[in-house]
């Protein structure tokens, strides 16, 4: 139904809990975040805080 991020030895992995597929997450510095991306981040944080 979703994806889970886990950390192993300072590396991040994304696991699809339906298929079991595992992918390594590569994090990049981004110079600017769009307003739409920031709204989605805030919406996620607010919904997580309510739970």
Mapping DSSP to helix (H, G, I), strand (E, B) and coil, where does residue 46 land? helix
Tell me what pLDDT residue 1 has: 58
Main-chain dihedrals φ then ψ at residue 18, nearest 5 degrees? -90, -45
Tell me what pLDDT residue 35 has: 93
Query: Is 16 in contact with 27 (CB distance < 8 Å)?
Result: no
Between the alpha carbon of residue 41 and those of residues 10, 13, 14, 38, 48, the distances in Å are 23, 20, 18, 5, 11
Task: State how far the Cα of 26 lies from the Cα of 45, in Å rounded to an integer.
Answer: 22
pTM: 0.57
DSSP state of 31: S
Give per-residue pLDDT as tens, 1-51.
588 899 999 999 999 988 989 999 998 887 788 999 999 999 988 887 776
């Amino acid at each position: 139904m979703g994806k889970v991020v886990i950390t192993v030895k300072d590396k991040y992995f994304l696991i699809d809990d339906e298929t079991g597929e595992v992918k390594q997450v590569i994090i990049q510095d981004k110079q600017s975040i769009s307003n739409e991306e920031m709204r989605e981040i805030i919406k996620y944080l607010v919904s997580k805080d309510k739970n």
